[in-house]
Amino acid sequence: MTQFDMLLRRALMDANLAQYERALQSAEVKKPGFSPRYLRERMRLLADPQGWGRQAQPGGRKRLDWRLIAIVAAMLLLSACAYAVATGQFSQWFPRLGVDPEAPEVSEEVLSRTGTAIEQSQTVGDTTVTLHAAVWNGTDLWVSMDIESPNIPEEVQQYTPLYMGDCRFFLRDDQWEEYTRNRVKESGAAMGASSEQIEADIQAELDKGQPGFGSFLMPQEREGNTLKFQENTFLEADWFTETKRPELTLHIERIGTYINDSEGQASVNPFEDIHPGVVFVEGPFDLTFTLEEPILPIRYEGADVETVVTDIPLRFTGFELSTTELFADYEAVNPEDLPEPGPDLSPEENDRRFETVKVVSLAVVDSLRGLWTEDGAYVDLTNSGSAGGSGGCVSVRYPYPIDPAAVTAVDIAGTRVELGELERMTEPVS
């Protein structure tokens, strides 16, 4: 087994245990009825370990090692990043999101409608941080920024993992309280918790204070003394009830390399404490900005699409489309009945169950082949480079931004599913 496999397994197991621990303690039934978004959160670790790891778990006793999950994310990014030719301002700020080579102006238009131009700079000592822009699709938030400093070590180049010190996104206090209340309320309801327990969990979260939203730093490019970043975090629009345009502060402090090993290479051991090697950005920097309203995802329910992929019968029941990603709800039937790993099982049994779930997940991912837009164009999703599935939900990234309102059908293992024949949900589904 490779080190990547070991890291991914450990992260997946921790994620499952963290999610189930609170539910198993409070639920009166053996298998709680989790909401679609809750299931999407569970599968997000496969699709985006970094994004999943930044979500706080209300009421949970087991706290995950976010650094470990960030390292897994870095490994995934190294194999998944594909750059398209940039065409406009937002496309140049966010090259990893891609550009439609046949219609680059359309990609730029989608990004600009769900994006926010910021262009703020702050200098501390001989270091300047410039925050160019943000793109928010209602679930994921990306920011484009540069760090210019004469102190950047030579070994820091494209894709070099960096010690992120105290780098966090913070919501305005009243908005964070609103966000936290709704997040904990929804999660508690999905787990079958009582109203009293939910309120206690809310208060416990508020008492801890705002932890901020973490981000894993890895430069997408180096030009001389300038590092260019396209950072990502998780920000769920549905957890705001009053706020339409969240105000955030990006706090940057103590960025550095990792400790070098005996051969002089950057060493990152997720199983031990991680300490910085050379800190080359001290700070602090605080850049505050207000997001524009995003292009929100569109959800469709009422599907009944059955298929068989690699001898595994599958049934798809619903779809959700954002500007960057397609989610699909599914059910699978196999001899193992999708046995989930659990906290009370032996490591050997958990390994066996994990392998079963992984096989099914790969089959589900393989089912999402593409989509059609209103102009008749077909978008191939089989080579998107970033996809994953687990626990009743699967996702696949688009090769470039797409307006969800322009999508008319999806390709499920060769079957065209017309979205217009399904029930379009105008309100968030919980």
pLDDT tens digits, one per residue of 270-317: 445 567 788 999 999 999 999 999 999 999 999 999 998 888 888 999
309 and 247 fall within a common domain: no
288 and 302 fall within a common domain: no
Say how far residue 219 (Cα) sits from the centre of its chain: 18
60 and 183 fall within a common domain: yes
61 and 185 fall within a common domain: yes
Neighbours of 272 (CB within 10 A): 9
pLDDT digits (tens, 9 = 90+) for 208-227: 999 988 766 789 999 999 99
305 and 269 fall within a common domain: no
Strand partners, 329: 318, 393
Measured over the CA atoms of residue 85, residue 327, residue 323 and residue 118, the dihedral's sign is negative
Q: Is the pLDDT of residue 74 over 60?
A: no
| Higher-confidence position of 120 and 68 | 120
Where does the pLDDT of residue 111 fall: very low under 50, low under 70, confident under 90, or very high at 90 and above? very high
Lookup result for tokens 């490779």: 2
Burial pattern 125-159, b for ≥16 Cβ within 10 A else e, equals: eebbbbbbbbbbbbbbbbbbbbbbbeebeeebeee
Q: Which residues contact 259 (CB under 8 A, 6 or more apart)?
A: 266, 267, 274, 275, 276, 277
Neighbours of 4 (CB within 10 A): 13
58 and 118 fall within a common domain: yes
Q: How far apart are CA 380 and CA 361, in angstroms?
A: 19
Q: What letter does residue 178 receive in the DSSP assignment?
A: H
Confirm if 148 and 130 have CB atoms less than 8 A apart: yes
Angstrom CA distances, 164 to 73, 367, 391, stand at 14, 37, 31
Q: Is the pLDDT of residue 186 over 60?
A: yes
309 and 418 fall within a common domain: yes
101 assigned to some structural domain:
no
List, edge to edge, every strand of the sheet that includes 387-390. 387-390, 393-397, 325-332, 312-321, 298-309, 423-425
Cis peptide before 399 (omega within 30 of 0): no
222 assigned to some structural domain:
yes
302 assigned to some structural domain:
yes
Q: Is the pLDDT of residue 10 over 80?
A: no
Q: Report the run of H or E that residue 200 belongs to, with start and end.
A: helix 195-208
- What pLDDT is recorded for position 335? 46
191 and 272 fall within a common domain: yes
List, edge to edge, every strand of the sheet that includes 378-380. 378-380, 368-373, 407-412, 415-418
Q: How far apart are CA 288 and CA 228, in angstroms?
A: 19
104 assigned to some structural domain:
no
Neighbours of 30 (CB within 10 A): 6
- What pLDDT is recorded for position 408? 98
Choosing from 294, 329, 350, the residue where a domain stops is 294
Rounded to the nearest 5°, which phi and psi values hold at 15? -65, -45
Instruction: With H, G, I as helix, E, B as strand and everything else as coil, classify residue 321.
Output: strand
251 assigned to some structural domain:
yes
Q: What letter does residue 266 receive in the DSSP assignment?
A: B
Strand partners, 306: 315
219 assigned to some structural domain:
yes
pLDDT digits (tens, 9 = 90+) for 50-68: 334 444 333 333 333 444 4
Lookup result for tokens 């549905």: 238
Angstrom CA distances, 140 to 44, 183, 235, stand at 11, 15, 6
Say how far residue 33 (Cα) sits from the centre of its chain: 23
290 and 302 fall within a common domain: no
Say how far residue 172 (Cα) sits from the centre of its chain: 22
Choosing from 263, 294, 325, the residue where a domain stops is 294
| Higher-confidence position of 155 and 121 | 121
Q: How far apart are CA 188 and CA 363, in angstroms?
A: 31
Residue-range definition of the domain harbouring residue 412? 298-425
262 and 381 fall within a common domain: no
Q: Is the pLDDT of residue 77 over 50?
A: no
Domain count, the chain: 2
419 and 396 fall within a common domain: yes
180 assigned to some structural domain:
yes
Neighbours of 196 (CB within 10 A): 8
Percentage of residues in the chain having pLDDT higher than 90: 53
Confirm if 233 and 141 have CB atoms less than 8 A apart: yes
Where does the pLDDT of residue 395 fall: very low under 50, low under 70, confident under 90, or very high at 90 and above? confident
| Higher-confidence position of 162 and 415 | 415
Instruction: With H, G, I as helix, E, B as strand and everything else as coil, classify residue 150.
Output: coil
Q: Which residues contact 155 (CB under 8 A, 6 or more apart)?
A: 257, 266
141 and 289 fall within a common domain: yes
94 assigned to some structural domain:
no
- Show the CA angle centred on residue 23, arms to residues 19 and 40, nearest 5°: 45
Burial of 227 (0-12, 13-18, 19+ CB in 10 A): buried
Confirm if 44 and 6 have CB atoms less than 8 A apart: no
Choosing from 271, 294, 317, the residue where a domain stops is 294
Amino acid at 35: S
Q: How far apart are CA 278 and CA 354, in angstroms?
A: 38
Mean of the pLDDT values across residues 1-22? 39
